[in-house]
A and B are shown apart, each in its own frame.
Chain A
């Protein structure tokens, strides 16, 4: 067990070094959520949610936290694993006695580090630029929600990597499969509304909105239900089952 942990840690270290060594990749992974945070945030300053005293930005910043988690866990991990498979790196791992669980754990650990970096930067800038901060006593809940969200979307990233067939399509597939959902989930626009009833019910079923709502609730008192947590848990379980079923070490 300790050997597995040590091996996973070594693997995560190499992944992190590789990530930061590829400067554009690291920069854009980090910069994308921050750019959206600043640009759209600036357009929302001073506005309040209709019929409440809650500032738009107070809800918008945790939405971008959710976005950052999804970019780090789902997009990055999913496309990375697809590329590793396409390049034959996964196949090479299979020629060694390294336990597969140690390898996967290493990839996940590296993903958690990336997610922490992105969300810490987002949270800090959201606080400095827009004064948005978690409610008093909600920091542990915020941290827990971030962990849950990272795990959920990392597992979904592994799952989506199994259906991506080429390295070239990895990034586009990963982004295209969640950005539209993120937009109609109101992640980028706290006042987003006007969806047909059936569509808003469909969107609520996806984990993007659930994660956003859980995080938003730690910033402002929002309609929050156990449903969101159950939804994230269900997606995690489904993603894990699919990843285990479909995961391949070679193309």
Chain B
């Protein structure tokens, strides 16, 4: 059975994991589709790494069904490692090895490796290819992690908290590298506790808290379920201020000084109504018209109202 025969790259159903009497995962379900960036978002201790370690074949779950590229990770770890790249949270390098030398060695571990030059380029390490690993910065090391995970040209890449502890510049370059991986058509499953990282990188997000998936879907789906609406705002036309024109029908418009704001779950419909109203009353294109999608942070906070997640590494 090959992975392509299944419709999802990763399938997790009813996953449970206990360490002694501590139940870390209490029935986790999610699927990762081929070609998408899927983000497992949650506070520290939610069970993200444990989930990943099970998917990588390092741990045998207490219960549940797991398929990765159509394989059972615990039973076929070597087959899986041939096709899945893994970036663990903390993993060292041989200190005296040089960048290109190490990637070159890693390429020999796989039957059908990606060309060395390409690997260096994807993670933007071409300039430091002859530098010893111990002299690299934290961000560069992380990108070397990516290159090693990519050496075998895997279909799927696991990234466990790829930017934890990085400064903003290093994070941006890591994000760029991850977006390069996406550009290669790789399926990516990443964990993070940064909301902005999930928002920036993920096609779909699953929020994991205390061993359970609380919510999963695209950003819009999550926002809708959180009851968050798209915000539409524009400069209040003077005619409306002077009550020379009636407010639009069917829209709850709040005039705050010179700005008018409304919230709607249906941005397109509301915009249509609004523009028709403006045309009818000769208000033109509505100055300062802005449509703002809800942020993951608002959605998350309104759903959980719980601490544990951070927006920035600072």
Across the interface, A22 reaches (CB within 8 A) one of B92, B96, B106, B152, namely B96
Contact (Cβ within 8 A) A14 B149: no
Which residues on B sit within 8 Å (CB–CB) of A91?
A: 88, 91
Residues of chain A within 8 A of B82, CB atoms compared: 97
A200 at the binding interface (Cβ < 8 Å):
no
Residues of B near A19 (CB, < 8 A) are: 96
Q: Is A52 an interface residue (CB 8 A)?
A: no
B232 to chain A, nearest CB (A): 48
Contact indicator per residue, chain B 90-102, by CB within 8 Å of chain A (1) or not (0): 1111111100011
Please pick, from A10, A15, A21, A94, the residue contacting B108 in the complex, using a CB distance under 8 A.
A10
User: Are B152 and A96 in touch, CB under 8 angstroms?
Assistant: yes
Closest residue of chain A to B148 (Cβ to Cβ) is A92
Contacts of B79 in A (CB 8 A): 97
Given contacts A89-B94, A96-B109, contact A17 B88 (CB under 8 A): no
Enumerate chain A residues within 8 angstroms of B92, measured Cβ to Cβ.
84, 86-89, 92
In the complex with contacts A97-B110, A98-B109, A14-B56 CB distance below 8 A: no
Given contacts A7-B108, A97-B152, contact A21 B81 (CB under 8 A): no
- Give A14's nearest chain B residue, CB to CB: B105
Q: How far apart are the CA atoms of A92 and B91 in the complex, in Å? A: 6
Distance to closest chain B CB from A34 (angstroms): 23
> Once bound together, how far apart are the Cα atoms of A86 and B92, in whole Å?
8
Q: A96-B81, A96-B152 are in contact. Are A14 and B90 (CB under 8 A)?
A: no
Find chain B residues with CB under 8 A from A88 CB.
88, 90-92
Task: Tell yes or no: B132 within 8 A of A by CB.
Answer: yes
Chain A 80-117 residues near chain B, CB threshold 8 A: 84, 86-89, 91-92, 94-99
B86 within 8 A of A: yes
Interface centre among A19, A89, A95 (most CB of B within 10 A): A95
Checking A7, A18, A95, A99 against B88 with a beta-carbon cut-off of 8 angstroms, the contacting residue is A95
A99 contact set on B, CB distance < 8 A: 78
A236 at the interface (CB under 8 A from B): no
Instruction: Determine the chain A residues whose CB is within 8 A of the CB of B95 once the complex forms.
Output: 18, 22, 87
Question: If the complex has contacts A17-B96, A18-B96, A88-B91, are A96 and B101 also in contact, measured as CB distance less than 8 A?
Answer: no
Closest 4 CB pairs of A and B: A87-B92, A18-B96, A95-B86, A88-B92
B interface, CB within 8 angstroms of A: 56, 58, 78-79, 81-82, 85-86, 88, 90-97, 101-102, 105-106, 108-110, 132, 148-149, 152
5 contacts between A and B (CB under 8 A): A19-B96, A88-B88, A92-B148, A95-B81, A98-B109
